[in-house]
Amino acid sequence: MKLPKFILISAMMCTVFLLNGCRHSSKGYEQRIIQWLDNTYGKNSYTMKKDVNRKRYFMVTLNKYPQLNFRVTIARDVKTGSSYLWTNFDEIFCKHAIKDFKKTYDIGSDQLQYMESLHFIYTTNAHSLEKLKVSYDKMMNFITFVSKQYPILIDMGILDMRMDVNGIRLKGRDDSDKWIYLNIAKVKQKTLKTKSYKEIYDELKPMLITHSENPKGLTFHADEGRSFILGSDTLDDCLYKNLVLTNTTRKQLKNTILQPGEISQPYTLKSENNYQLITITLQAKNLSNSPVSLLNATIVKATIKGGKTIYIDPAWIELEDNKIRKWIDPYKALGISPPKTEQEKKRAFFTNIQKCFLKCLSIILV
């Protein structure tokens, strides 16, 4: 009988010990939260009570914003085992600020939303810089509103704003690059810094595509940079494709004039990747009936050196024999015959691509 009694007493002592440990642990959690609240918002600037619906969570209300309650708790990282303070303050205040703003201001078809990692995102569809100005003003109305009504967001450093723009076509962009992301507002050391519309205008204006695009152009993409469209892109477009112009300057290209039908000398762009050097040499042609700057001439010929793969609409092809998987000859992949005569080599016939051939187009694989 002595052994069971000893086991029972030991179990009771362990239970009491664990209960005391939990009590002290909970008290420590609460003290840690209070200390954080005091340091963040100031003593006597808030009220705190236990969340009846969630164990170890506390509901906090700031005296200056009695209509808003947010949660605070001590969470634990499962992987590292370390604890950290968690709060939904950002989400509660940011979403409420948006809701409060929309009671007075109409942003039309634009969208304004909260995102945890970015705070605020303003989304708009604008096909011109003039239309963008309208949305920019609406967005700035929100920033001004929040600065006055919810200055705590600036104090806490959570009034960052990104503007996402769809519809404006920029040079050098692929078809998939439909969005322009502009960082408009940022809080640094409790000071709000904003980007003016003039700064945005000056940044985007030189990058606007001003010429019509040729839907029958031939698209290709090397291992580095972005897509090029023979018969559609201008030489100026090519300067925005994440490659470096090597044998001249933009100013010299701008000052060079091509007569109608004239083809330029070759100009070379190269990748900045030292481990995989790729060069694309381009020639442009004046396809108009009047003299134009070389920057506005249309690229009609490309020579590509380096790289293991290349995209020529409609397929990616491998330029080197791959021993791991079955290699397909580039011309076979494209369903065309390699050029045989000197004339064909100068303007390789891609008759089976898009079921058309534009006389102004040629591409040579080296």
Which tokens hold the place of 96?
């409420």
User: Strand 218-221 and strand 309-312: pairing?
Assistant: antiparallel
Query: What's phi and psi for 169, nearest 5 deg?
Result: -90, 125
CA nearest 98: which of 73, 64, 123?
123
Q: What are the pLDDT digits (tens) for 306-346?
A: 877 788 887 777 766 666 666 666 677 667 677 777 766 65
- Least-confidence region, from 38-52, 171-185, 318-332: 318-332
Q: What are the pLDDT digits (tens) for 72-130?
A: 999 877 677 788 899 999 999 999 999 999 999 999 999 999 999 889 999 999 999 99
Higher pLDDT, 27 or 304: 304
Q: What is the reported pLDDT for 355?
A: 31
Q: What is the reported pLDDT for 17?
A: 43
Residues contacting 118, CB < 8 A, separation 6+ = 160, 162
Asked whether residue 176 falls in the same domain as residue 229, the answer is no
**For the chain, how many structural domains are there in total?**
3
CA-to-CA distance for 323 and 74, rounded, in angstroms? 55
Asked whether residue 222 falls in the same domain as residue 319, the answer is yes
Proportion of the chain above pLDDT 90, given as a percent = 59
Which tokens hold the place of 147?
């600065």
Q: What is the reported pLDDT for 294?
A: 97
What own/partner pairs with CB < 8 Å and gap ≥ 24 does 190-196 have? 190/154, 190/155, 190/157, 191/154, 192/143, 192/147, 192/154, 192/159, 194/140, 194/143, 194/161
Mean pLDDT of the chain: 84
Scan for tokens 């031939």, then name that residue.
Answer: 218
Out of 52, 69, 87, a domain closes at: 87
Asked whether residue 48 falls in the same domain as residue 121, the answer is no
Residue 91: C-alpha distances to residues 87, 255, 327 (Å): 9, 54, 53
Residue 125 falls inside a structural domain: yes
Q: What is the reported pLDDT for 328?
A: 67
Cis peptide leading into residue 266 (ω within 30°): no
Q: What is the reported pLDDT for 309?
A: 79
Out of 207, 242, 259, a domain closes at: 207
Residue 308 falls inside a structural domain: yes
Question: Are the CB atoms for 121 and 115 separated by under 8 Å?
Answer: yes
Question: Are the CB atoms for 56 and 49 separated by under 8 Å?
Answer: no
Q: What is the reported pLDDT for 324?
A: 66
Residue 28 falls inside a structural domain: no
Residue 250 falls inside a structural domain: yes
Q: What are the pLDDT digits (tens) for 247-295?
A: 999 999 999 999 999 999 999 999 877 666 888 999 999 999 999 999 9
Q: What is the reported pLDDT for 80?
A: 74
Asked whether residue 289 falls in the same domain as residue 313, the answer is yes
For residue 223, is pLDDT > 60?
yes
**pTM exceeding the 0.75 threshold for the entire prediction:** yes
For residue 152, is pLDDT > 90?
yes
Beta bridge partners of 111: 123
Asked whether residue 42 falls in the same domain as residue 164, the answer is no
Asked whether residue 136 falls in the same domain as residue 100, the answer is yes
Asked whether residue 338 falls in the same domain as residue 299, the answer is yes
Out of 207, 236, 260, a domain closes at: 207
For residue 39, give its domain range: 35-87
Residue 346 falls inside a structural domain: yes
Average pLDDT over residues 157-183: 91
User: Strand 179-188 and strand 315-318: pairing?
Assistant: unpaired
Q: What is the reported pLDDT for 325?
A: 62
Sign of CA dihedral 357, 358, 360, 362: negative
Asked whether residue 292 falls in the same domain as residue 241, the answer is yes
Asked whether residue 76 falls in the same domain as residue 186, the answer is no
- Least-confidence region, from 94-98, 228-232, 360-364: 360-364
What single-letter amino acid sits at 82? S
Beta bridge partners of 46: 62
Residue 21 falls inside a structural domain: no
DSSP 327: -
